[in-house]
Structure 1
Amino acid sequence: MSLREPSAHADSWYARSAGPGQAFAPLAGRETADVVVLGAGLTGLSAALELAQAGLDVIVLEAREVGWGASGRNGGQVIFGYGCDQAKIAGMLGLEASRELFRWSVDAVDQVRRRIIEHRIDAHWRDGHAHVAIKPRHVAELKAWQADLADNYGYPLQWWEREPLQAVVSSPRYIGALYDPCSGHLHPLNYTRGLARAAAQAGVRIFEQSRVTSLQRGTRPLLRTGGGEVQADFVVLAGNALVHGIAPELDARVMPVGTYIGATAPLGAERARELIRNDMAVADINWALDYFRLSRDHRLLFGGRASYSTLPPPNLPGVMARRMVRVFPQLQGVGFEQVWGGLIDISLNRAPHWGRLGDNVYFAQGFSGHGVAATGLAGQVIAEAIRGQAGRLDVFARIPHRPFPGGRALRTPLLVAAMAWFKLRDALW
């Protein structure tokens, strides 16, 4: 395997700062395996690694490069839970099942830490995450969430009033925070490449530049690419927002959404630490939220400005800079050295959509912007099911998922209109 130059990846601060990754050849000709996985992101690589460690022969097909999609360019925040809150899951499945799912999500955060240590991944891990309140409504929501997690899930979080929060985050914008010392943040591309390296060492055959063009279902399903095909006993579909047409019944239940991140120039250790003194990750709870953290080289990595049409807004760097200055007025005039974006996949209810099609095609999608830890859990749960232990996957498969209204032609404008209302609520209430 050769080493890839950092510039070969989709351009972002992560790509420029990541250690070199392995380059994997495209698929050429016909291959067979026990399991074939579509997608070399966090879900697909996690499933492949688990299966290979259990002795199965696994092939991974990646349309671009390892971690090219959301897995390698996301906000890097590693948080318990899912894209919707536990109260919604409890309403759909009941409290006991919701408790199980929550416990598994907490274990998923620990799994990220374990994999970093076990596979010696230079993932820049830092402990700590805070959800912050901008308005009194947010304070009430966060305190209700804190009580629910403590009373129903046995997961205590720390509440910080304005003064203790501002002693840590030097911003006048926030009036309270819910702090979790067990969540954290990392360099997502380094982490994803580290999983790929671990999977390859475990015997997984990874093929890059091998876009899957069709799935032929049957007793031994077949994935075809432009250069070859793979037949296997089981298929795992882990392409998320970047794949459609392979399994149309899945396409209708997720929606691609654009999201964006900027990286400032290095601020210097002292100035950076004045912004976030404990080096935690931070996110507000607006519908169109801001989230941010410090990098190892003392930049501010600032994300937000989701696009439900998937089209980036005009003057994206300027828009992002204005959002950053609302949080940190002391950074007026700093701007960004880089701004990048990508697509995430959201489900209509923001809950994870994981399950199986027939007896031998498995899938995980609908991470809804909350996937760095949950993707690892999805890969693990699917690997268990393929090995005959489907109990956990069956719980996730009980979550009801409806298609987005309007079909492919109207679902985007309908969602854009709905999101405009939520953004108006953020601004006025």
Structure 2
Amino acid sequence: MTVSHTSSYYAASAHDKVVRPTLTEDITADVCIVGAGYTGLSTGLHLAEMGYKVVILEGSRIGFGASGRNGGQIVHSYSRDMDFIERNYGKSTAKAMGDMAFEGGTIIRKFVDKYDIDCDLKDGGIFAACNKKQLRELEDKKSLWEAYGHENLELLDKQEVQKYIGTSRYEGALLDKSGGHFHPLNLAMGEAAALEKLGGTIYECSEVTRVVEGSKPKLYTAQGSVTADFVVVAGNAYLGGLIPKLEAKAMPCGTQVITTEPLSETQQKELLPGDECVEDCNYLLDYFRLSGDGRLIYGGGVTYGAREPSKIESLIVPKMLTTFPQLKGTKIDYAWTGNFLLTLMRLPQFGRIGSNIYYAQGYSGHGITSSHLAGRILSQAIKGQTESFDVMASLPQYYFPGGRTFRVPYTALGALYYSLRDKLGI
């Protein structure tokens, strides 16, 4: 049975609508990857460039999960920044992670350029401060990132930010000229096509039902199997119950996105004159940008435990109109939700099961860049170069308190606390 993508703007405007075959035989590979999202595709593409025979098993469609549904923004660093990492894990870990913190965006641009991927890639990202406290935090972020070698940053005051965003909502902003935005599903499809040109194989609608560990692990689907030297588990929020101990360390969370009808050039210039992408600094943040065909893509909010809200527009349209009241009455053409994976410490989880089953998950809202970085790290670890992997795998991985039953209400209460702080500006 063929599974369809969610009814998103991205699926409707995807360049590649070819359905890959389902696995129906027993095959072998150097590396078998579970999941054809960014983590799996980046890992597979890096490995294929090294000459490995790669097979990816995707339970649904390429980019079916967060990789094909996200806001499409290149946002650097991790969900926790290097100052937090240094306080909690020491200077050497912070230095090593800081050296990698801005690499994900570089990898994306390298793939787009090298493989001529058509995904509407544009430069420029903005962090917008909703109050003076957040603006002070952006000043600190600028100093912190510059200390780790990340330049091309510019602070904007309340008047300056209105030259970039057509709203009076923000107290100021941080412009990251090396940020950017793109069509996420077309990026995933482009990476998949590049992998296939290098000899890799992707099977869709081929959910892995069982993994048998050993010197040559074997992965079973409903109609076939793959025996490999190495396995990479890259299902993230859509892994399901395949490996329960990974599931217990993180929680799927949903975010909602809407897309307007195409806007006139005058409207586009009024909303985002420089065509940068924007995210605000609230804990439950809003994010928005223009698509390649001139629509406003606006997302925000979080539902814990991967619930699917029944009325996405009623959740997001009021947020959009708070930022851009001039869009009142604008038609919404698409609305959808997608899941990302949250960890307790909001840092990614890397690890190895036995000697040859690797995993990376839990990017906690920073998955676009972190997943592409993960592909480089995992591929090098398989090759035997484990320095970066060892750093990431050294971070402690905690189970959510209360287990599966109570992790949702506990986390929602914590989010409510931070949301109130955002509103009060404290």
SS at match of 1:116: helix
Q: 2:183 aligns with which of 182, 187, 194?
A: 187
Matched residue type, 1:197: A
CA contact (8 A) 2:253 2:342 kept: yes
Q: 2:218 aligns with which of 219, 222, 229?
A: 222
Matched residue type, 2:186: N
SS at match of 2:139: helix
Q: Does 1:398 align with 2:394?
A: yes
Give the Å deviation of 1:371: 1.2
Distance 1:298 1:409, change over 3 A: same
Matched residue type, 2:183: H
Distance 1:154 1:333, change over 3 A: closer
CA distance in 1, matches of 2:355, 2:307: 37
Q: Which segment drifts farther, 415-424 or 65-74?
A: 415-424
Residue of structure 2 equivalent to 1:115 = 111
Q: Cα deviations across residues 141-184 of structure 1 (Å, max 9, x unaligned)? A: 11122222223545462100011100111111101001110110
Q: Does 1:260 align with 2:286?
A: no
Give the Å deviation of 1:92: 3.2
Residue of structure 2 equivalent to 1:420 = 416
SS at match of 1:59: strand
Q: Does 1:19 align with 2:15?
A: yes
Residue of structure 1 equivalent to 2:339 = 343
SS at match of 1:179: strand
Q: Does 1:159 align with 2:155?
A: yes
CA distance in 1, matches of 2:47, 2:18: 21
1:369-384 superposed matches below 5 A: 369-384=365-380
Q: Does 1:143 align with 2:139?
A: yes
Matched residue type, 1:291: Y
Q: Cα deviations across residues 164-221 of structure 1 (Å, max 9, x unaligned)? A: 1001111111010011101101100000000000001111111100011111111111
Q: Does 1:59 align with 2:55?
A: yes
SS at match of 1:212: coil
Give the Å deviation of 1:250: 1.2
Q: Which segment drifts farther, 144-153 or 272-281?
A: 144-153
Q: Does 1:78 align with 2:74?
A: yes
In structure 2, stretches of 5+ residues that fail to align are none
Q: Cα deviations across residues 363-414 of structure 1 (Å, max 9, x unaligned)? A: 0101111111211110111010101111110011111121111111221122
Distance 1:314 1:200, change over 3 A: closer
Residue of structure 1 equivalent to 2:65 = 69
Matched residue type, 2:402: G
CA contact (8 A) 2:250 2:399 kept: yes
Q: Cα deviations across residues 81-121 of structure 1 (Å, max 9, x unaligned)? A: 01111111222332343233233232221111111011111
Q: Which segment drifts farther, 153-162 or 333-342?
A: 153-162
CA contact (8 A) 1:289 1:304 kept: yes
Q: Which segment drifts farther, 378-387 or 148-157?
A: 148-157
CA distance in 1, matches of 2:118, 2:199: 21
Give identity over the alignment, percent: 38
Distance 1:298 1:416, change over 3 A: same
Q: Cα deviations across residues 219-265 of structure 1 (Å, max 9, x unaligned)? A: 11111111111111111000000113222221111110010110000
Matched residue type, 1:266: P
Q: Which segment drifts farther, 89-98 or 21-30?
A: 89-98
SS at match of 1:337: strand
Residue of structure 2 equivalent to 1:171 = 167
Q: 1:44 aligns with which of 16, 40, 44?
A: 40
1:171-320 superposed matches below 5 A: 171-320=167-316
CA contact (8 A) 1:127 1:181 kept: yes
Q: Which segment drifts farther, 243-252 or 182-191?
A: 243-252
Residue of structure 2 equivalent to 1:328 = 324
Residue of structure 2 equivalent to 1:99 = 95
Give the root-mean-square deviation of aligned CA atoms. 1.6
State the number of aligned residues.
424
Give the Å deviation of 1:336: 1.6
CA contact (8 A) 2:37 2:65 kept: yes
Matched residue type, 2:277: A
CA distance in 1, matches of 2:133, 2:22: 52
CA contact (8 A) 2:49 2:198 kept: yes
CA contact (8 A) 2:71 2:257 kept: yes
SS at match of 2:107: helix
SS at match of 1:258: strand
SS at match of 1:339: strand
In structure 1, stretches of 5+ residues that fail to align are none
Matched residue type, 2:398: R
SS at match of 2:63: coil
TM-score by length of 2: 0.96
SS at match of 1:23: coil
Residue of structure 2 equivalent to 1:409 = 405
CA distance in 2, matches of 1:103, 1:276: 32
Distance 1:243 1:295, change over 3 A: same
CA contact (8 A) 2:251 2:305 kept: no
SS at match of 2:379: helix
Q: Which segment drifts farther, 183-192 or 81-90?
A: 81-90
CA distance in 2, matches of 1:146, 1:161: 14
